[in-house]
Structure 1
Amino acid sequence: MIGERRARYAGYGTRELFVDGRGPKLVLVHGFGHPADCWRPVLQRCERAGQAAVALDLPGFGAADALAPGLLIPQLVRFLDAAVREHAGSGSVVLAGNSLGAVTAVQLLDSVPGVPVSGLVALDMAGEHWAPLVRAVARGNWTLLRLLAALPAPTRLRVRVGDVFAGMMLYGDRRALDPELVRHLSSQIGRTVSANGLIEVGILFKKEAESLPLPTRIDCPTVIVHGRKDRLVAPATSRALHAAIPGSQFLTLDGIGHCPHLDAPDTVTALALDLVAAAGRSEPA
């Protein structure tokens, strides 16, 4: 059974979902606009495998505390640093992050020395290269999205449109679509204030992600994954990350969208558990 609890890291209150089991623990970090719940398919598979794992609500998302004014990504890095050290205990963890979560994990490993991380799975990391749809919207100065968010449409219609949009953006294979998770995102789009706020934070995140240099200090085993049907981030971002991390593995997945842990949870879980197994063999008994 997946448990739920409150926690506090680096001064931010948050909610985390977890399953008990063997270590090293797998720490799962969601993407922009998501809660920790997006990792439920992976947590379920970890539970069946007897693997300890935890998924966190990042500050500003889900049931976590709000972000403070200022730069977004440095706050998330401080939060994740504290969470990783807590969950590592006297050992280490394996990190898996999607999109914004992958950016946060990469920045943590590249900028903070001595982080107890023995493996990294980076899924469709955001960065310099974006898919045509995102580039087109950005060229219009985000005007279209702002106008849509401000429309006085009935809540039911707005949520329905949000359902369709979120499903299309997140999944490559609509047969794998999780209506409950999609509705969580749609409910934010369904409230005008939340929709506008989400858009503005997304614009800031995009600018920050584009300005980050490629990592130069990551030396733990790393697997980089990109879905071929990602409609948000171009594969060039993951290829650049692969080139920047010596010895990293790069996989592209046919028919998979921006969130491989939703489209292909068996594959993502297997990749993460391989890193966990390797980390377990290298840690002292």
Structure 2
Amino acid sequence: MDPLVFVPGLLCTEALFTPQIAALAADGALVSVADHRSDDTVAAIATRLLAEAPPRFALAGLSMGGYVAMEVMRRAPERVSRLMLLDTTARPDLPEQTENRRRQMSLAEAGKFAQVAPALYPLIVHESRLEDAALRNIVLQMAEATGPEAFIRQQQSILTRPDSRPDLPSFSCPTTVVVGAGDRLTPPDRAREMSELIPGARLETVVGAGHLPTLEAPDAVTALMRDWLIS
């Protein structure tokens, strides 16, 4: 089984993949989590990841982590043995999305970072999980661990990311695209678009999950990852 590198999403930490890390490590996988908090461009995050990763590895990124994963594929496709893109998009932001990001950055700069994650929570989970106190607590703890300075760097990197759609047809490693059926931020049509542009890609939809299926439907995602790693 190839070493596996996870890339979390915006305001997320390694806790985003806790269920999968535990299960796959028990299977014997060598798992690491990329640093996506120290740099303010997707290119710099990808450069850091490649400097710290094994010579050849499987790569899985969720949301912002997907943007980084696609940058890694542009830079060093020969080092990636297989790719999983979860709840992400190859498209750049729409103007209203850019405006929302800048508004959130302004809150963080004004000392109101604590307002950001609670406001985002209803948008990133399946509608059935809105009152899930345990899940909400994990999301808020990840945001607190990220902090305002890293959050601003992350948003800057997202704002300046390229349109990855032209690059997807060149991806040649085995690829699985995963999306929560109830994802409202990067909905299933975005996942379908990526899967149709990447040669031979598989598309998997996780029922009952929103933008964070690794936490909302951990067993289903772990099963998908096990299959992906050995296929």
TM over 0.5: yes
* Alpha carbons of structure 1 residues 146 and 217: separation in structure 2 relative to 1, 3 Å: closer
Percentage identity across paired residues of the two chains: 25
Give 2:118's aligned residue: 164
Give 1:145's aligned residue: 104
* Distance (Å, rounded) in 1 between the aligned partners of 2:87 and 2:101: 24
What does 1:224-263 align with in structure 2 at a 5 Å threshold? 224-263=177-216
Q: Deviations over 1:70-101 (max 9, x none)?
A: xx111122222233334x4xxxx322110121
**Larger-Rg structure:** 1
Give 2:11's aligned residue: 33
* Alpha carbons of structure 1 residues 248 and 113: separation in structure 2 relative to 1, 3 Å: closer
The amino acid across from 1:58 in the alignment is D
SS at match of 2:60: strand
Q: Deviations over 1:199-236 (max 9, x none)?
A: 46415413414476332321111110112322322333
* Alpha carbons of structure 1 residues 218 and 37: separation in structure 2 relative to 1, 3 Å: same
Q: Per-residue deviation at 1:245? A: 0.9
> Do structure 1's residue 275 and structure 2's residue 228 form an aligned pair?
yes
The amino acid across from 2:15 in the alignment is D
Q: Mean alpha-carbon deviation: is it higher for 102-111 or for 72-81?
A: 102-111
> Do structure 1's residue 265 and structure 2's residue 190 form an aligned pair?
no
> Do structure 1's residue 183 and structure 2's residue 160 form an aligned pair?
no
Q: Mean alpha-carbon deviation: is it higher for 103-112 or for 243-252?
A: 103-112
The amino acid across from 2:137 in the alignment is P
Q: Which has the higher helix share?
A: 2
- The two structures, once aligned, show a CA RMSD in angstroms of 3.1
> Do structure 1's residue 104 and structure 2's residue 63 form an aligned pair?
no
Q: Which has the higher strand share?
A: 1
What does 1:52-91 align with in structure 2 at a 5 Å threshold? 52-59=29-36, 61=37, 66-67=38-39, 72-86=41-55, 88=56
TM-score, structure 1 normalization: 0.67
Give 2:78's aligned residue: 114
* Alpha carbons of structure 1 residues 180 and 151: separation in structure 2 relative to 1, 3 Å: same
SS at match of 2:224: helix
* Distance (Å, rounded) in 2 between the aligned partners of 1:135 and 1:261: 29
* Distance (Å, rounded) in 1 between the aligned partners of 2:74 and 2:117: 36
The amino acid across from 2:29 in the alignment is A
Q: Per-residue deviation at 1:123? A: 0.1
SS at match of 2:170: coil
The amino acid across from 2:42 in the alignment is I
Q: Specify which structure has the bigger relative contact order, considering alpha-carbon pairs within 8 angstroms and separated by 6 or more residues.
A: 2
On the 8 A contact 1:228/1:255 being kept in 2, the answer is yes
* Alpha carbons of structure 1 residues 147 and 25: separation in structure 2 relative to 1, 3 Å: closer
Give 2:2's aligned residue: 24
Q: Per-residue deviation at 1:247? A: 1.0
On the 8 A contact 1:224/1:238 being kept in 2, the answer is yes
* Distance (Å, rounded) in 1 between the aligned partners of 2:120 and 2:178: 21
The amino acid across from 1:226 in the alignment is V
TM-score, structure 2 normalization: 0.80
Q: Per-residue deviation at 1:242? A: 0.9
> Do structure 1's residue 198 and structure 2's residue 151 form an aligned pair?
yes
Gaps of at least 5 residues in structure 1 are 1-22, 279-285
Q: How many residues align?
A: 227
On the 8 A contact 1:26/1:52 being kept in 2, the answer is yes
Q: Deviations over 1:94-129 (max 9, x none)?
A: 2211012122222222332421x3221110123326
Q: Per-residue deviation at 1:248? A: 0.7
